[in-house]
Amino acid sequence: MTNPSLADPSMRRSARRARGEQSVVASPIPPGLPGGRYMPLADAEVLRIHGLALRLLEDLGLSQLTPSLEARAVAAGCRLDGDGRLRFPRALVEDVIARARRKLVLHGIDPRHDIEIGGRRVHTGTGGAAPTIMDFASGRYRESTVADLYDIARLVDRLDNIHWYHRSIVARDATTILDLDMNTTYACLSGTTKSIAVSYTDGASVRAVQPMLDAVAGGEGKHRDRPFCTAVCCHVVPPMRFATESCDALEAAVLAGMPILLVSAGQAGATAPAALAGAVAQACAEVLAGLVLCHIVDPDCRGIFAAWPFVSDLRTGAMSGGSGEQALLSAACAQMANFYDLPNSVPAGMTDSKLPDAQSGGEKGYTISLAAQAGATMIHECAGMQGSLMGTSFESYVLDNDLLGAILRTVKGIEVNDETLSFDVIRDTVNGAGHYLGHPQTFARMKTDYVYPEIADRRSISEWEDAGGRDARAVARERVRKILAEHYPHHIGDATDASIRSGYNIILPRARMRAGNGVW
């Protein structure tokens, strides 16, 4: 049936004019839209989970802490029992929660990309540690490299709904741990001016990378003033044990003034309880233990509460990042972090699909939506990831950027006031033109209320067929190819780059970082 509102050619012209104007205005979905409308836990259930987290810390504690942090913790009032488990008094934990930062600025390398984390303001970005990437030419998975890290960073730099770049792959061409950490940092710094995050293996890497960060920031000590690199610390090995080397990295990062993503990543049914409530409580306890340690080192630390319990497919024990249970776990952890009123992160968008296909879009859609609606202030791993975090693909970042835009629009919600209820607009239209296409409110609201995808196709079937009938993945591949052929950031000057290369074993060739190199 023909849509009567578009049958008149003058109406179609009005619609085309309206569509054309949207390209010159600011996005209606800026970073940091407030979420928190969806709450999978009742208030009484939140209190019960919090109570269990405190009990786990006080009665069970955690083992295998580094001697340095252990000494600091005991001096602050923690108790070391006969089994070597460090127990955290309830009063100490609650005091740290009360004194912790309610918000912090996650600085971009360019201040235009600064974002404020906290207060249920939702942001979306990358993350993960995939050992493989789908080769753009062959379509087959291969080991990921430093060059891939750099190319993904360049993509992220041009995708507005991805707010930071946390390295999403492991560079398999780095031969030592130190080379891995330094080259990962370098590739991230070189490819984007957004905030970056790196999972540092130990304290030695954190200390070694500081001159590189300072060089890009403009001089010795400058990174501490505006830290744009977050240290990702998986400081625990669930259940309820510290990861010794990561705790060493945690201490070094706090002393360096870096933001710290405090990650507990137990797997329900394997390293966390299969019962979802227990998995949430254990994750909260493990993250709170890390937050206490950070505050013992520096009461003004930039800690981010990252309770990341994952899900097992209990038939096989394999991780299932795209499951409905994962969506619930991440949303519940966001709700717990908001109960504590802490800057926080949860994982979502970790599809089990190996391709950017219908399964991938569906699983990413509902897992990210629940996390965003629950008010997670950072949603990690929600762009680019495939195969339960074991792989990634270039076109997925472009496709997911579109998806994130739509999800963030739902977070923005519906504005209800005298103007938006639109009585005068309805009256004038009923008594006048009989349609809203040319009304001033339509032109104004299309700029502030509506999001327009870059990849998703809204043309008629005949228009789509006449244009070649390509699917979304083919359109995304064209977008990837165009960005990577043209976009080579130049925010790190030649002299600074030469200085960095003289002090580190940088794998990425300088020629690879210039337009016209023929790679894309």
Amino acid 303: pLDDT: 98
Structural domain boundaries, residue 139: 32-413+451-520
| pLDDT at residue 10 greater than cutoff 60 | no
Rounded CA-CA distance 486/484 in Å is 6
Residue 231 lies in a domain: yes
Does residue 432 belong to any structural domain of this protein?
Answer: no
pTM, two decimals, is 0.94
Question: Sorting pLDDT into bands at 50, 70 and 90, what band is 25?
Answer: low
**What does the pLDDT read at residue 6?**
44
Residue 173's CB is within 10 A of a number of other CB atoms, namely 15
- Are 195 and 188 in contact by the 8 Å Cβ rule? The answer is no
- 113's tokens: 């990309």
Give the type of residue at 95. Answer: D
Residues 340-364 pLDDT 10s:
999 999 999 999 999 999 999 999 9
Residue in 323, 405, 389 with CA at minimum distance from that of residue 124 = 405
For residue 49, count other CB atoms closer than 10 A to its CB.
24
Asked if residue 298 is part of any domain, the answer here is yes
Which candidate, 95, 77, 97, 96, places its Cα nearest to that of 86? 77
Residue 375 lies in a domain: yes
Judged against a pLDDT cut of 50, whether residue 15 lies above it is answered with no
Q: In whole angstroms, what is the distance from residue 482 CA to residue 321 CA?
A: 30
The answer as to whether 424 is a domain residue is no
Q: φ, ψ for residue 461 (rounded to 5)?
A: -60, -45
Residues listed for the chain: 520
Question: Which pLDDT belongs to residue 117?
Answer: 98
How many independent structural domains does the chain possess?
1
In a domain, 169, yes or no: yes
Q: What's 152's domain CATH number? A: 3.20.20.480
Residue 1 belongs to a domain? no
> How large is the average pLDDT for residues 114-128?
98
Residue 426 in any domain: the answer is: no
